[in-house]
Amino acid sequence: MLIEKVLHRDNLLEAHRRVVRNRGAPGVDGMTVDDLMPYCRQHWSSHREEILSGRYIPQPVRKVMIPKSGGGKRMLGIPTVLDRLIQQALAQVLTPIFDPTFSTESYGFRPRRSTHDAVLRARDHIAAGHRWVVDLDLEKFFDQVHHDILMARVARRIEDKRVLLLIRRYLQAGIMEGGVVSPRVKGTPQGGPLSPLLSNILLDELDKELERRGHRFVRYADDTNVYVRSRQAGERVLDSLERFLDRRLRLKVNRSKSAVARPWKRQFLGFSVTPNRQPRLKIAPQSVKRFKAKLRPIFRRARGDNLSVTVQRLNPKLRGWIYYYRLVAVKGTISELDAWIRRRLRVVLWRHWKTPRTRFKRLMSLGVNRSKAARASWGRAGPWGSAAGSAINFAVPNQRFRDLGLLSLHEKHLELAMSL
């Protein structure tokens, strides 16, 4: 039976390894991933018997609200580490059953597939002449999943009733907020290892419908882009998909966020494209704006720190960001962001120097002539304006930041592009 594979020792050890590697916050019981193995050594045999007999009841998930990239907030449901272990064990057994049947145009939360694969596939559709996109946004998808509809699709491939019962109980596990547990009658909150697979099982029906109609599309989790040759075709596709999703899956299309538009006027997974016949990837403006917002707290914190400490805090974020955007061919945005970061660091220095007299002395000591140092130090420009002035740029050239070890996004991008 399938439940025995889920509870097999080797599968559980692998699930434990992944749960520990992913770390994550404690659930409602406060147990950490470091506490999981000692707890299981003492209590796992009783939990195993509960699962086999159908008596196991998952604990409620802990409700956490996090900012969404496009504004607003998204709810996460954080399961206990024990329930994360069981969900991970389920996912490891169910993924080989379901994943081979999924569409080749589905990329999210799948083995050996990535956001970059999805972005490159989207670019290929545009290059093939499908230069209009139906950008489909599902309204609160993870909160709106209909349990019966989802379970019916899981049951098409899974016969073991104990596995089906365990999955349903995870779907129905309550949500705890402020010490109060609310029942859940729909939705599969993000935060558990099983939710990504369940979302793909449900949305595979959308993929199959798009394939049946012969459309070019790319789906990453609940982000779906359909590529067509004209606005009129796009409007027809959007209308028909709205009806299909409502009728078959009980999901709603968010019309205010969905659109039929040129791909270079939209963003997909943080990327956009140029309008060339052979489109080139570029960084979406919204992505740059979000990244700057993530860096600003580091610059604010830097007012009381040595500049080298600030550089050390910046570098991991810069490295991760440029690694994600290593595919882009339009480099102007990267150079502009490099200049913005250096200007922010000059603002930090300007504020460290505090008074006009101190600024004057610092500029003079760094080789700025007397009159230029005086104009900069006693001028009316604020820190941001002063950081763009010739005096501080002469006194603190780009080489100073290289010597401190500041990662250059432009240079790192060139290095990564050479390795592709």
Q: Which two tokens stand for residue 301?
A: 């914190």
Return the closest-CA partner of residue 187 out of 257, 241, 140. 140
Does residue 71 register a pLDDT over 80? no
Would you state the pLDDT for residue 324?
Answer: 97
Backbone angles phi, psi at 176, to 5 degrees: -100, 130
β-pairing, 61-67 vs 175-177, is: parallel
What's the distance, CA 358 to chain centroid? 44
Identify the H or E element spanning 82: helix 81-98
Q: Which two tokens stand for residue 357?
A: 């007299």
Backbone angles phi, psi at 51, to 5 degrees: -65, -45
Distance CA 117, CA 406 (A): 30
Does residue 266 register a pLDDT over 70? yes
Does residue 181 register a pLDDT over 80? no
Confidence of residue 72 (pLDDT cuts 50, 70, 90): low
Of 69 and 311, the structure prediction assigns the larger pLDDT to: 311
Would you state the pLDDT for residue 150?
Answer: 95
What's the distance, CA 232 to chain centroid? 32
What's the distance, CA 417 to chain centroid? 22
Does residue 225 register a pLDDT over 80? yes
- Residue 117 burial (C-beta neighbours within 10 Å; 0-12, 13-18, 19+): middle
Q: How many CB atoms lie within 10 A of CB 139?
A: 16
Would you state the pLDDT for residue 69?
Answer: 63
Would you state the pLDDT for residue 99?
Answer: 96
Confidence of residue 176 (pLDDT cuts 50, 70, 90): confident
Identify the H or E element spanning 346: helix 332-353
Q: Indicate the pTM of the whole model.
A: 0.89
Confidence of residue 67 (pLDDT cuts 50, 70, 90): confident
Does residue 101 register a pLDDT over 90? yes
Of 73 and 196, the structure prediction assigns the larger pLDDT to: 196
Distance CA 169, CA 173 (A): 6
Tally of residues, the chain: 420
Would you state the pLDDT for residue 182?
Answer: 72
CA atoms within 13 A on the CB side of 212: 8
Would you state the pLDDT for residue 178?
Answer: 73
Distance CA 161, CA 1 (A): 10
Does residue 5 register a pLDDT over 80? yes
Q: In this prediction, what percent of the chain has a pLDDT beyond 90?
A: 83
| 3-state SS class at 396 | coil
Contact partners, residue 188, CB within 8 Å, separation at least 6: 142, 145, 150, 171, 194, 195, 198, 199
Computed over every residue of the chain, the mean pLDDT equals 93
Sort residue 191 into left (φ over 0), alpha (ψ -120 to 50) or beta.
left
**Residue where the block lists tokens 């694969």:** 117
β-pairing, 281-283 vs 216-220, is: unpaired
Would you state the pLDDT for residue 89?
Answer: 97
Would you state the pLDDT for residue 173?
Answer: 87
Distance CA 348, CA 310 (A): 9
The listed range with the strongest mean pLDDT (138-147, 149-158, 299-308) is 149-158
Does residue 376 register a pLDDT over 80? yes
Does residue 13 register a pLDDT over 80? yes
Q: Which two tokens stand for residue 340?
A: 């913005």
Does residue 284 register a pLDDT over 90? yes
Confidence of residue 70 (pLDDT cuts 50, 70, 90): low
Confidence of residue 204 (pLDDT cuts 50, 70, 90): very high
